Structure 1
Amino acid sequence: MEDSKNVIFGRNPVVEAIKGNREIEKLYVSKTAGGNIAKIIKMARDRNIIVSTADSNTLDKLSDGKNHQGVVAVCSVYKYCEIDDILSFAKAKNEKPFLLLLDGITDTHNLGAIIRTAEAFGVHGIIIPRRRAAGVNSTVVKTSAGATEYVKIAKVSNINIAIKKLKEEGIWIVGSSIDSKTDFDKADYTLPIAIVIGSEGEGMAELTQKNCDFIVKIPMTGRINSLNASVAASLMMFEVVRQRNK
């Protein structure tokens, strides 16, 4: 169950939260709700908020048994930044940008582990999509061991538009695929770099892969030909630090 302090319920409070651009991770609506619920759903979708139908038991649990009127909004525990904030942070440190782009990480434990490792390796910021991906919630905060307090995270409507912006800023985009012929330690990470980590099950989306400047692979000799997303991210982040500290 979501942390109750991050939940808004009731039709008017939810409408005001949407109007006020509150960072909402997901909107839950009753399967049988009527009245102005369609208007609330449209407002949410116009702002790229994920909308999910739920039964009464789920809504009761989310609202701690209070009068939810068929709608519950789960809000972020984290204040997201903009991509420009991440780039400004790197510039202020007089360092070449080092970013992560997470293309559809849905497991909150994976996201928390990636954030924890990113903080340890000096990543300037992480970019995640608004839809079909995990956001920073209480589980992520806990799994990150508090690293969410120190890592800048931007949430964007479209990963590929974010990639285009980074390229315009002179940042090279590196993705990974088991089909690549180039081992991950052969890329030049001394350049301004953004590493793309694909989703747990499907990897990078096809369009995201096409927009990468380099595609590399992590060589494996075992029978299982894929790594957990947070482990793959850790290996690639370590290689960036290794090359930059030669």
Structure 2
Amino acid sequence: MAQKSDFLFGIRSVIEAIRSGKEIEKVLVKKGLQGELYEELVETMKEAGITWQAVPIDRINRATRKNHQGVIAFVSAISYQDLENTLIGLFEDGKNPLILVLDGITDIRNMGAIARSAECAGVHAIVIPEKGGARINADAVKTSAGALYNIPVSRVPNLYKALEYLKNSGLKIVAATEKANDDYTKIDFTGPTAIVLGAEDKGVSAQMLKICDTGAKIPVVGSIGSLNVSVATGVLVYEVVRQRAIVAE
């Protein structure tokens, strides 16, 4: 169940929150909801580019029994950053970009753990999809040990187009996948790089693999087939740290 600090409820409250610039993750609306105020809400969400979902009333009641009027909005614990502005800023500052792109990672604790490893290793930004990804709430921030306050996170409507933009901007796109031919230590991470990580059960999606320049696999010698994605993240980003430190010597 969401914590009180994670959501707003009531049609007018949600409208005003959107107009005031609050970072809204998503909005749940009772199926069949109608009326002028509802139409105003829909128009406000469209203008702000906020996604919403029509759900049975029971789903909203599970979050709160207060006078929600059939509408509940989940509020992000962080402020999202524009990907293009972030990347331009990195190049202007003379940085060698290292960006993580999370494809289908929905577990909040994994999200937090990934952010913690990323921040410690000097990753410059994390890219997540608007739909099909973990919601960054208080639990995610806590698991990250506050790292989600320190590392820019960009939430994009189309992950494939985001990868396309990064590739066209000169970044090497590396997919973390057991299907790769090369061990992760054989990949050159010394230049601008984006590492794509997928959910543990499905991995990086076939569509995303198509645009990646190469794949990197982490050898697994035990009986369990794969590492936790947050652990895999730590392995990969610290290989980047190792390689870049050698080049800098």
The answer to whether the 8 A contact 1:171-1:192 is kept is yes
* Residue number in structure 2 paired with 1:221: 221
Report if aligned partners of 1:184, 1:218 keep a CA contact under 8 Å in 2. yes
1:94 Cα deviation (Å)? 2.5
- Residue number in structure 2 paired with 1:51: 53
Q: Which consecutive residues of structure 1, in runs of 5 or more, have no partner in the other structure?
A: none
Q: Is the 8 A contact 1:48 1:130 kept in 2?
A: no
**Pair 224,162 (structure 1): closer, same or farther in 2 beyond 3 Å:** same
Distance in structure 2 (CA, Å) of the matches to 1:81 and 1:45: 20
- Amino acid in structure 1 at the alignment position of 2:53: V
Report if aligned partners of 2:11, 2:38 keep a CA contact under 8 Å in 1: no
Question: Cα deviations across residues 49-96 of structure 1 (Å, max 9, x unaligned)?
Answer: 14252444x534534x32111111111111000113332443355221
Gaps of 5+ in 2: none
Distance 1:190 1:54 in 2: 50
CA pair 51-22 structure 1, distance change in 2 beyond 3 A: farther
Q: 1:197 to 1:45 in 2, by over 3 A?
A: farther
- Cα RMSD (Å) of the superposition? 2.3
Match of 1:35 in 2: 34
Q: CA deviation at 1:15?
A: 3.5
Q: Distance in 2 between matches of 1:170 and 1:140?
A: 31
Amino acid of the residue matched to residue 2 of structure 1?
Answer: A
Could you say if the C-alpha distance between residues 68 and 200 of structure 1 is closer, same or farther in structure 2, counting changes exceeding 3 Å? same
Kindly state the Cα deviation for residue 3 of structure 1 after the two structures are TM-superposed. Answer: 2.8
1:161 partner amino acid: K
Query: Which residue in the other structure is 1:62 paired with?
Result: 63
2:77 and 2:180 map into 1 onto residues whose CA distance is 38
TM superposition outliers: structure 1 runs of 4+ over 6 Å: none
Letter in 2 for 1:35: Q
Match of 1:7, as an amino acid? F
Q: Contact (CA 8 Å) 2:29, 2:52: kept in 1 or not? A: no
- Identity over the aligned pairs, expressed in percent? 38
1:139-158 to structure 2, matched below 5 A, reads 139-158=139-158
d(CA) in 2 for partners of 1:69, 1:181: 54
The separation in 1 between residues aligned to 2:215 and 2:42, in whole angstroms, is 39
Once the two structures are overlaid, the 10-residue window that deviates more, 33-42 or 178-187, is 33-42
Cα offset for 1:41?
A: 6.0
